[in-house]
Every structure is written in C-alpha cells, then in structure tokens.
Amino acid sequence: MKRVLDVLVLPGKWVGWLVLPLILSVCLTVLAARFGWNAFVRWDQSLPVIGQGITVNTLADLQWYIFAIMAIFGGVYAFRDGQHVSVDVFSAGLPHRVQLGLRLVGDLVFLLPFCAIIFWYGWSFALTSFNSGEGSTYGGLMDRWLIKSIIPIGFALLGIAAIVRAIATTGEILRPAPTDESNFE
C-alpha cells in the first residue's frame, strides 16, 4: 500500500519545484509595476497556452496556475504524510482502534464522496472550458482547460489515496491486538 501512495504523491513532489518560477514571476510582476511595463514580449502567431505574448497579465495568470497546481497536488502529498487538516483533537484520548475506526469512517463517508463529487463536476468544468476554447480575455494565458483539468486529476489522486488508506486502516483494525508478554511471566 505504501508504494501505491508513494506513486500517488509523485506529482506533489514534482510540483514543489514550481516555487522557483512562481518567485520569478512575482519578482517580474513587481518590476513591471515599478517601471510601468505591460508587455515583455509579443509575437504574431498565437502559441498554445501563452497566446501572442508575455504580459503582466500572463505572469498574473501563471502565478495562480502555479499556486493551484501546488495546492491540489500538494494536498495529496499532505494527506499521505498525515499533515492535512484533521480533527485529532476530538479523538486523541480514545483507544487506538477507535481512532482507526473514526479515520476509516472519515475517509469513506466524508473524503471519498467529496473527491467523487469534485472529480465529477471538475471533469465537466474542464470539458466545458476545452469545448468553448476558453482563454484569457485580458492578455493572460490561453487554454484554460489545462489548468481546470488539474482539479479532477488531483481529486482522483486524493480519492485513490483515500481508498488505499481505508484498505490499510481496515487491515490494521482487523489485525489481532498485540499481547503484552510481561503478563505471562
């Protein structure tokens, strides 16, 4: 199960490197605002995603694209490592098996249906964007379906991670409790 989770978090590990272009984009946007620049480079032919140039709006779109990618794929990474938001404060004093049962219920009753709903609507959200050719109307990035497709992909990965963790949790619950050897001496 651990290997499956390790594969599911690979995009989260990879997108961590997007912090560097995010920082560069923010710095360029600040410089552009300071010096009154709007367009950095323009060309005649429209290129996929970029359009007909790199402007301040392109950089602004790039910033929220990167942030969205990092948040969605990073969420799967945080879930795998137990660094996500949880309500452990309510279950901290309960026996370990009860904690596991609550985690199992949370994963199957709350997280998995939520992931399924977001996947379903995210898929149609991205598909509508693709079919309409949605892009920036103010000189930013084009092909918005690419960033919108991150939503169903990320929540599919999170849903798979929830299933894997639920299977592992069920196995842990069903495993016989360890006996205390010191009682038999």
Total domains, the chain:
1
pLDDT classification of 81: cutoffs 50, 70, 90: confident
Matching residue, tokens 């367009």 = 39
Domain residues for 132? 2-174
For residue 111, being part of any structural domain is answered with: yes
Average pLDDT of the residues of the chain: 88
Lowest-confidence pick of 58-62, 77-81, 106-110: 77-81
Residue 98 lies in a domain: yes
pLDDT tier at 18 (50, 70, 90 boundaries)? very high
Burial pattern 154-178, b for ≥16 Cβ within 10 A else e, equals bbbbbbbbbbbbbebbeeeeeeeee
In-domain check, residue 15:
yes
Residue 55 parent element (H or E): strand 51-55
Q: What's the start-to-end Cα distance of the chain, in Å? A: 37
Average pLDDT over residues 17-35: 94
pLDDT at 185: 47
Q: Is residue 52 part of a domain?
A: yes
pLDDT value at residue 156: 96
What pLDDT shows up at residue 181? Answer: 57
pTM, rounded to two decimals: 0.83
Q: Given a cut of 70, is residue 182 above it in pLDDT?
A: no
Q: Is residue 83 part of a domain?
A: yes
pLDDT number for residue 86: 72
